[in-house]
């Protein structure tokens, strides 16, 4: 939600690391259930006044809440009763982060409740892990970091991994 407390910290953190994402050929796009008018006001407001002035990547206005519903981050759901469309819950989006590959497949997702901010460092780690997998075919074990070995998807590969770690 625009003009709240956690959202600007996340958007500004992603902006500060935008070059890191671009160097990895990864686009950053934000999406909110607020309107394009609210986004424009937020983007025009100085950061020390609760705004996100300086954020340069796109922010999609999902005022219809369709994107949020399709990605499973809408805090509630629509139902039709006797021909009347009704929303049950709070019609805002949780904090979702989705890593979508070149084929349009969601390869990683994390959904946080409203008071919990997302980690840019973890998002970059997951981009690196997906790239590593796509380039090498090796999977990335728990806490994998760039420069570390991957894991062969064989019994011998698993045994070798555990013998090294």
Q: Could you report the per-residue pLDDT of 60-101, keeping only the tens digit for each?
A: 999 999 999 999 999 988 889 999 989 898 889 999 999 999
Q: Which domains does the chain have, with CATH numbers?
A: 1-114 (3.40.30.10), 119-165 (no CATH)
Q: What is the pLDDT averaged over residues 106-118?
A: 96
Phi, psi of 131 (to 5 degrees): -60, -45
What local confidence, expressed as pLDDT, does residue 77 receive? 84
pLDDT tens-digit map of 113-122: 999 999 999 9
pLDDT value at 158 more than 80? no
Rg (CA), the chain: 19
DSSP 44: H
Give the DSSP letter string of 99-158. EE-TTS-EEEEEEE-TT-PPPHHHHHHHHHHHHHHHHH--B--TT--TTS--B-SSHHHH
Which pair of structure tokens corresponds to residue 28?
């950053």
Give the DSSP letter string of 13-29. HHHHTHHHHHHTT----
User: How many percent of the chain have pLDDT more than 90?
Assistant: 79
Give the active site residues.
7
Distance (Å, whole) CA 117 – CA 45: 21
pLDDT value at 154 more than 80? no
pTM assigned to the model:
0.88
């Amino acid at each position: 939600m625009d003009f709240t407390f956690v959202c600007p910290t996340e958007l500004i953190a992603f902006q500060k690391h935008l070059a890191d994402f671009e160097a990895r050929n990864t686009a950053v796009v934000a999406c909110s259930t607020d309107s394009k008018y609210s986004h424009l006001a937020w983007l025009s407001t100085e950061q020390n006044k609760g705004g996100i002035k300086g954020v340069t990547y796109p922010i999609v206005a999902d005022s219809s809440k369709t994107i949020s519903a399709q990605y499973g981050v809408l805090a509630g759901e629509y139902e039709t009763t006797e021909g009347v469309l009704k929303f049950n819950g709070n019609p805002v989006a949780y904090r979702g982060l989705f890593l979508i590959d070149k084929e349009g497949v969601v390869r990683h997702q994390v959904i946080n409740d409203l008071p919990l901010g997302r980690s840019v460092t973890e998002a970059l780690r997951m981009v690196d892990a997906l790239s590593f997998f796509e380039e090498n075919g090796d999977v990335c074990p728990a806490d994998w970091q760039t420069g570390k070995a991957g894991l062969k998807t064989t019994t011998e590969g698993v045994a070798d991994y555990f013998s090294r770690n």
